[in-house]
Amino acid sequence: MGKCIYCGREAGFLRKKHPECERKHLEGRSRIYQMAESAVLKSDVDLDVLKRQIYQIAADSFINPTLLQKLLGEAWEWGVTKALEDDLLTEAEEEMLEKFRKQFDLSKESLDRQGAYTKLVKAAVLRDVLEGKFESHVNVVGDLPFRLQKSETLIWLFTNVKYYQRRKRRQYVGGYQGVSIRVAKGVYYRVGGFRGKPVDVSEIVHVDTGLFGITTKHVYFAGDEKAFRIPYRKMVAITPYSDGVGIQRDAMNARPQIFVTGDGWFTYNLVMNLSEAMG
């Protein structure tokens, strides 16, 4: 006799579940998610009461702790998406999301499997910079390869960043000019010479991969081959890309530099706002 995967009692020959248990389970899942979703961004919800209600529904609906955490985490992620619909995160929204996370013991690691927690922190960083608050949001283990100046704060740090340069190389295009003289059947002798012309071709070259730090005074890069910093006051152009940012220095013969961070929108906005505030 098979046993029900929900209640654990006998379900009948070659059967794995009771229809009634499955219905109760699915209804419980839906109800828990809806309750959590409707509460995650509301400041007037009593989270203690909500927690008791949700845990009771989970017990009555054969929902184990792992699945319950998953449902609550998905509701929290929805809350982040909803809060960032206008590309801005208010302190009230951040506070409500954090209270909900702590109330249900949702770990930062579990909430960041799809990048939701990092997205929330990035939004808070941009808000702080816009409000003139320049605090570090980086927890560095070990020594940084950057030598920060006095009163300089590391705001954000990207790892495994690919650094590219836009370079020009010269190539010759053209061909032989002249006439062809038939000397035998199927054999021609060409009279003339190569008259090509030089053409400058622009190309993007991968230079190195390393750390990309954004501080209150500079952006830093440190890889195996290259290490440098760029002051905000020396930037004449900042170009957004879907996965990174391009920077043009104010220097003779300076080549455009591109840093692929994986999040072009955040990188561009952070560098642009810091350069306007500190440059």
- CATH 2.30.29.30 domain locations along the chain: 154-167+204-278
Q: How many CB atoms are located within 10 Å of the residue 190 CB? A: 11
| Predicted confidence (pLDDT) per residue in 218-247, tens digit | 999 999 999 999 999 999 999 999 999 999
Name the pTM for this structure.
Answer: 0.81
Residue ranges of the chain whose pLDDT lies below 70: 1, 169-201, 279
Write out the H or E segment, with its range, that includes residue 229.
strand 227-231
In CATH, the number for domain 154-167+204-278 is: 2.30.29.30
Torsion, CA 183, CA 184, CA 185, CA 190, rounded to 10: -30
Per-residue pLDDT, 140? 79
pLDDT at residue 255, as a whole number: 87
Which regions of 2-89 does DSSP assign to beta strands (E)? Answer: 2-3, 10-12
Q: Which residues pair with 230 in a beta bridge?
A: 219
The pLDDT value given to residue 141: 77
Is the torsion defined by CA of 245, 248, 254, 256 positive or negative? positive
